Amino acid sequence: MRYYDLSIPSHLMAALLPDVILMGGAMLLLLWAVWRRESPSHQRSVGVLSIGLCVATLVAVLLMMFDRPRASDGPIAVDNFRWMVDVVVLVGTIAAIALGIDDNDRTGSTTAESHVLILLASSGMMLLGAARDLIIVFLGIELMSVAVYALAGMNRRSERSAEGSLKYFLLGAFSTAFLLYGIALVYGATGTTGLHEIHARVAAHELGSSPLLLIGIGLLLIGFGFKVASVPFHMWAPDVYDGSPNPVTAYMAASVKAAAFAGFLRVWLEAFPSEFAAWHKAVVGLAILTMVVGNAIGLQQRNLKRMLAYSSIAHAGYLLVAIASGTPQGASAMLFYLLAYTLATFGAFGVLVVISRGDDAATIDDISGLWSVRPWLAMAMTVFMMALMGFPIIGGMGFLAKWYILKAALQAPTPQTTLAVILVLTTVISAGYYLYVVMVMFMRPRASDAPVVARSGGWTRFVVAACALAILIIGIAPDYTVRYATVGVPRVASPADTASVGAPPRTALVR
């Protein structure tokens, strides 16, 4: 078992080996992408090389995970929580690039640099999942966000894409200001940006009631709320998702959300456990608003991308329930949920890549009678809708993911009964649009003027089939995946000794 002393630069670089592989490879691929003239074959070759780089990075992550190295306290984490976040991010990256190769061919786009931008965004996500310092958190978020701003406006011929990208950039810059001011105020109150040092100094100097610290936590909550698209900070998501290319929308809805939640959880539960009473009610309020609004508006959508956008907002609410539990069990439940959600989201958008026509977004009418013309596609979409809804057996992985979050909420030292009840009720509401998609595919006749569903590309078929099989297999036998999701979660300070939410918890750090 290796030991890394993170105060030694060479050890720090060794602990960042997967990140270095991805970042270094992305820079080399960027040179290759712009060196040659744009063409469909060049776009595909850069995409295939990008997938190969992701696989190499994934191998490095898995080797680190199984080696289980230990490390001193430092600016980055070396634990299984980080490796599991990396796995989720890299699975999403591979799926996004694979869908992008076929989607670019379908739309006639030859921009090979879109694949490299996804790699650069993913390197920021991996850094965010490893961050144990607020400065590293900021660097990871910005590296991720700047690349995604460009990806959202990659379709330069679409007004909707330009509008969505501009909204994302302006609101993203606005939220970054909140994040930076929050970091500055927390630093002003504690004199450090390290997550563990913040917690130690707050406890040592009794800073829990410091207005400077509490305002800083509030501003950080707003910044993270924007990144995870929680209500009321969700206003950018529907337009940005609708205007972006399908693979990019899937990437934003799944991978960007996964990385943002990983950073959110690590900051909240490692740096601010003593302020549980201060931030808990705010997180509970965001979770309730997000679950209710996301599902209520999702019921009204006929545009499938906008429906999945509001579905993504609702799932942010479910994940906030895991954070509100404030326990290691909540952290592991969130990891498993992120994996299930990533697979279901990329699978669903893979189906949209097949049925979309040019720049027009797919609607409910476009999938009417899909069973009669593309039965395997209809069956795969059923698996993804059932997984997103949390239906047992067919969407077993999604059901287990919600079940673990419910357990974490109800078994918390301060049981989150209200959140658990609202999670169940809003899941029932979500059945109204998830099951409606399934009903339309199987029970409505195909219209005579309906567009012909073109044959899907090889990469798209691979993504759709792999996601559907993974959901079915892991849903039947989840033990192996859950074992790695529950080992080495962040050193969460659980409010285990709190008699009530209104009383500040005593600090009990658990590995």
Q: Work out the percent of the chain whose per-residue pLDDT is above 90.
A: 50
Confidence category of residue 172, pLDDT binned at 50, 70, 90: confident
Is the pLDDT score of 360 beyond 70?
no
Cα-based angle 355, 357, 363 (whole degrees, multiple of 5): 65
> What per-residue confidence (pLDDT) applies to 181?
94
Least confident of 84-88, 287-291, 368-372: 368-372
> What per-residue confidence (pLDDT) applies to 214?
92
Q: Are 455 and 235 in contact (CB under 8 A)?
A: no
DSSP element (H, E) containing 492: strand 492-493
Give CA–CA dist 242/65, Å, rounded.
37
Residues in the chain: 511
**Higher pLDDT pick, 49 / 70:** 49
pLDDT, tens digit, 9 for 90 and up, residues 148-162:
999 988 877 777 788
Confidence category of residue 186, pLDDT binned at 50, 70, 90: very high
Please state the rounded mean pLDDT for residues 117-138: 94
Q: Which is it for the CA torsion 388, 392, 393, 399, positive or negative?
A: positive
CA atoms within 13 A on the CB side of 37: 1
Give CA–CA dist 98/44, Å, rounded.
9
Confidence category of residue 497, pLDDT binned at 50, 70, 90: very low
pLDDT, tens digit, 9 for 90 and up, residues 228-253:
999 899 888 888 888 888 899 999 99
CA atoms within 13 A on the CB side of 270: 27
pLDDT, tens digit, 9 for 90 and up, residues 423-454:
999 999 999 999 999 999 998 887 766 667 77
> What per-residue confidence (pLDDT) applies to 501?
35
> What per-residue confidence (pLDDT) applies to 493?
46
DSSP element (H, E) containing 495: none
Please state the rounded mean pLDDT for residues 405-426: 91
Please state the rounded mean pLDDT for residues 213-225: 93
pTM for the structure as a whole: 0.91
Q: Which amino acid, one-letter code, is at 312? A: S
> What per-residue confidence (pLDDT) applies to 249?
92
> What per-residue confidence (pLDDT) applies to 40?
87
pLDDT, tens digit, 9 for 90 and up, residues 472-490:
988 887 777 776 666 555 6
Distance in angstroms between the alpha carbons of the first and the last residue of the chain: 17
Q: Are 453 and 377 in contact (CB under 8 A)?
A: yes
> What per-residue confidence (pLDDT) applies to 506?
35
Give CA–CA dist 438/377, Å, rounded.
11
Please state the rounded mean pLDDT for residues 210-218: 92
Least confident of 39-48, 205-214, 403-412: 205-214
Q: With helix as H, strand as E and coil as C, how does 321-345 read?
A: HHHHHCCHHHHHHHHHHHHHHHHHH
Q: With helix as H, strand as E and coil as C, how does 7-45 read?
A: CCHHHHHHHCHHHHHHHHHHHHHHHHHHHCCCCHHHHHH
Give CA–CA dist 91/263, Å, rounded.
18
Please state the rounded mean pLDDT for residues 95-103: 93
Is the pLDDT score of 459 beyond 80?
yes
CA atoms within 13 A on the CB side of 382: 17
**Higher pLDDT pick, 446 / 312:** 312
Please state the rounded mean pLDDT for residues 200-226: 89
pLDDT, tens digit, 9 for 90 and up, residues 379-400:
999 999 999 998 887 877 888 8
- Write out the two tokens for 421: 């009840």
DSSP assignment of 38-82: --HHHHHHHHHHHHHHHHHHHHHHHHHHHH--EE-SSSB--SHHH
Q: Work out the percent of the chain whose per-residue pLDDT is above 70.
A: 92
> What per-residue confidence (pLDDT) applies to 503?
35
**Higher pLDDT pick, 296 / 80:** 296
**23-28, long-range: CB < 8 A, 24+ apart:** 23/120, 23/123, 25/53, 25/56, 25/57, 25/119, 26/53, 26/116, 26/119, 26/120, 26/123
* Summary mean pLDDT of the chain: 87
> What per-residue confidence (pLDDT) applies to 34?
86
What SS3 state is found at 363? strand
**Higher pLDDT pick, 482 / 121:** 121
Q: Give the C-alpha distances (Å, rounded to integers) separating 191 from 195, 197, 216, 379, 392.
A: 11, 9, 13, 56, 49
